[in-house]
Structure 1
Amino acid sequence: MMKYVAISLMVFFSAACSSNKNPNSPEQGKEDTNAKELLQGIWLDDETESPLMRVEGDTIYYADAQSAPIAFKIVRDTLYTYGNDTTYYKIDKQGEHIFWFHAITDNIIKLHKSEDPNDSLSFVRQELVIPIYNEVIQRDSVVTYNGTRYRAYVYINPSKMRVIKTTYSEDGISMDNVYYDNVMHICVYEGKKSLFASDITKQMFDQVVPGDFLMQAILSDMKFVKVDRNGFHYQAVLAIPESSIYSITDMEVSFEGNLTITSTK
C-alpha cells in the first residue's frame, strides 16, 4: 500500500474549487473585450494598498513572485483564469479604476487601479523557485552479498523541469506556484563492472501513483535500502512541495540489471 497523507482531501478540494458547472461558461458567451481592456494595469487591495496583480493583454501576473502568470478571459459578469486549474470568479463591480469580484471563499475582493509607477517594482519577475536540493547530492552505499562486494550509488540532481502546484490564497484566489523537479541517477557496480546505471524521473512512476498527484509532485528523494537474493532495493519519495503529502515507492534492480517499480507494501 502506498503511503499518502491527505491526497484525497487535496484532490477533492481542488475539484470543488475549479470544476463547478457555471451557466456562464466561456463556451456559452462571447468574450467581453471592453471589460478586458478596463482590467489592464496594476491593481491594489483596497484595505492594504498592496499590489495584488498586474494585467497585461490576456495575462494576469501576481505580486507573489512564486506564482506563475495565468491566462484569463471575461465573459458576461465572470472572470475565468486558466492555469493548472480553470477557475471562475463572479465580478461584482468593474470600472476604469475599480474592480470587485467574489473569491472562491465567497469573500469580495475589492481592488482599485494604481496610479503610482513604482508599484510596477512588485512585479519584477525572478526565477524564484523552491528546489528540494540546490546542488548534486551523492550517496555511496558499500554492501556485501554472498561474499561479493558491491557499490550502490544515488545521485540527486536538481533540474530545470518545472512543476506547477495550484494553491489558494487566504482570500480564495487561485494561484499556480512554480517549483523545480529533481532527476535521480542510480547505478550499481561490482568492482569496476557496471551492473546498472539509469536516470530516474517522476514520469517513470505513472503506473503506481495517481496522475493528479504525480502532476503536482516532485521526485524529492531516493535512498538505497538493502541487497538480497532478488537484487538491490531502493525507495523513491514523491512529494507535493510545501506540504506533508507524499508517496513512497519501491524500486528493485536485479543482478541482471533489470529495474522494477512497485507500490510500497
Structure 2
Amino acid sequence: MKNVVVVLLVLFVWTACNSRKAEEGGRQQHTTDVQILEELQGVWLDDNTESPLFKIEGDSIYYTGQSNAPQQFAFVNDTLIVYGTQMVYYPVRLRTEHALFFTTPQGDQVSLHKSEVDSVYVEPQAEIRQPAEVLEKDSVIMFDGKRYRGYAYINPTGIKVIRPGISEEGLSVDNVFYDNVIHICVYQGTQRLYSKDIKRQMFSGLVPDDFLNNSILSDMDFIGVNVNGYVFEATLCMPDGPTCYNIHLLVDKEGKLEFKLRQ
C-alpha cells in the first residue's frame, strides 16, 4: 500500500512539473519581434468611446481597472497571446503602429487606436494596494443572567486571491482581491475569556479545496452563548460571486475551537 501511495505522489509531482515546464516553454517560444514590441508601447483607446482600455509597457499589459493585475503578453503570427491565470489567444485582424483590431475568444471585435499622449491613463502600479482599514464588530449576548460581549476585528492583509474575469470589452483580466485575518475575542465584563486569530486556511477539509483556495474570509459575527461555550459565525465567500459558506465556530469553556458548517 505504501508503494502505491509513493508511486501516486511521484506521478502527481511529475505531472505538475511537466505542466509547469510546458507553460514556461510556451512562453519562451512566444517571442515578440523587437520592432512590433516597440510599436505596441503606449496607451490604447477604444475606437467607439475614446476611453483607455490598457497601457502596454515593456512586455506587460496594464489595464485601466484598479483591481486588475498586469499581464505579460507576446505577439506571434498575427496573434496576441496574453499570460494570466489562463493563457488567452486573440486573433489580430489588423495591426499598425497606431491601430490594433482583434477578436476575443467570445467573438467580440475590439478596435483600438494609440493615444498621442500617456496622460490620459493612470500610471500603472506593479503592486495593487491592499485596503488598510480594520473593521470592528461587536455584539452583546445575555446567558444565564450574565452579560457576554464578543468582538470580531476584520483585518485586511497582503494575501492576494487572483480570480480570472472578463471585462466589458470581452478581454480576459485577472482580478485581484485581498484576504482577511479576523481576530475574535469574548469578554465578560473586563475579563477576557477567549481570543484567537482566524485564517481562511483553518477551514481546510471543511469546504472543497478549490473553493477554499479561491475565496476570502469576508465576515465574522458573535452569535451566541450556551452551556457548551461561545459561538461565532464566519462567512467564506468567492470575492466576485454570490457563493458563500457559513461556518459556525464553537469555543468551549476550555478554549478548544471546533468548526461546523451551518445547515
Query: TM-score w.r.t. structure 1 length?
Result: 0.75
1:257 aligns with 2:255: yes
CA offsets per residue over residues 123-160 of structure 1, 9 Å max, x none?
234787796x9443131434425x66544332222334
Name the amino acid aligned to 1:219: L
Name the amino acid aligned to 2:136: I
Aligned to 1:74: 75
Name the amino acid aligned to 1:246: C
Query: For 1:238, which of 232, 236, 252 is the aligned residue?
Result: 236
Aligned to 1:55: 56
Name the amino acid aligned to 1:114: S
Aligned to 1:32: 32
Give the Cα separation in 2 of the matches to 1:129 and 1:142: 37
Query: TM-score w.r.t. structure 2 length?
Result: 0.76
Greater relative CO (CA pairs within 8 A, separation 6+): 1
Name the amino acid aligned to 1:102: T
**Residue pair 1:141, 1:153 contacting (<8 A) in 2 also:** no
Change (3 A) 1:27 1:51: closer
Secondary structure of 2:121's counterpart equals helix
**Residue pair 1:74, 1:80 contacting (<8 A) in 2 also:** yes
Secondary structure of 1:252's counterpart equals strand
Gaps of 5+ in 2: 1-24
Give the ranges of 4+ consecutive aligned residues of structure 1 lying more than 6 Å apart after TM superposition: 126-130
Query: For 2:182, which of 184, 203, 225 is the aligned residue?
Result: 184
Change (3 A) 1:156 1:29: closer
| 1:165-204 equivalence runs, <5 A | 165-189=163-187, 194-204=192-202
Query: For 1:161, which of 155, 159, 177 is the aligned residue?
Result: 159
Secondary structure of 1:137's counterpart equals strand
Give the Cα separation in 2 of the matches to 1:209 and 1:253: 20
Gaps of 5+ in 1: 1-24
Aligned-pair CA distance for 1:221: 1.0
Give the Cα separation in 2 of the matches to 1:259 and 1:100: 57
Give the Cα separation in 1 of the matches to 2:67 and 2:236: 21
**Percent of aligned positions with the same letter in both sequences?**
42
| 1:218-237 equivalence runs, <5 A | 218-237=216-235
Measured on the aligned residues, the alpha-carbon RMSD in Å equals 2.9
Secondary structure of 1:203's counterpart equals helix
Secondary structure of 1:123's counterpart equals coil
Aligned to 1:136: 135
Change (3 A) 1:256 1:190: farther
Aligned to 1:102: 103
